Amino acid sequence: MHTRQGYRPAGVPRRYIKLSEKFIGKHSETLQLCRSLENLVVFRNY
């Protein structure tokens, strides 16, 4: 499921996602990579 808050895989606690977002947020390049990867995953789901 893709929302404005980001992609949240099933079975992954929201707490963990927030932590990873906070960590990744410090590295914009990594964040961009994750975003493009995320878009790829979402695209493949359709």
Question: How does pLDDT run across 2-34, given as a tens digit for each residue?
Answer: 445 556 566 667 777 777 777 665 666 676 777
State whether residue 2 is helix, strand or coil: strand
10-46 b/e with 16+ CB inside 10 Å = b? Answer: eeeeeeeeeeeeeebeeeeeeeeebeeeeeeeeeeee
Question: The pTM is what?
Answer: 0.28
What percentage of the chain carries pLDDT values higher than 70? 39
d(CA 10, CA 1) in angstroms, rounded, equals: 9
Q: Is the dihedral of CA 38, 41, 45, 46 positive or negative?
A: positive
What pLDDT is attached to residue 41? 74
**H helix intervals, the chain:** 14-24, 28-45
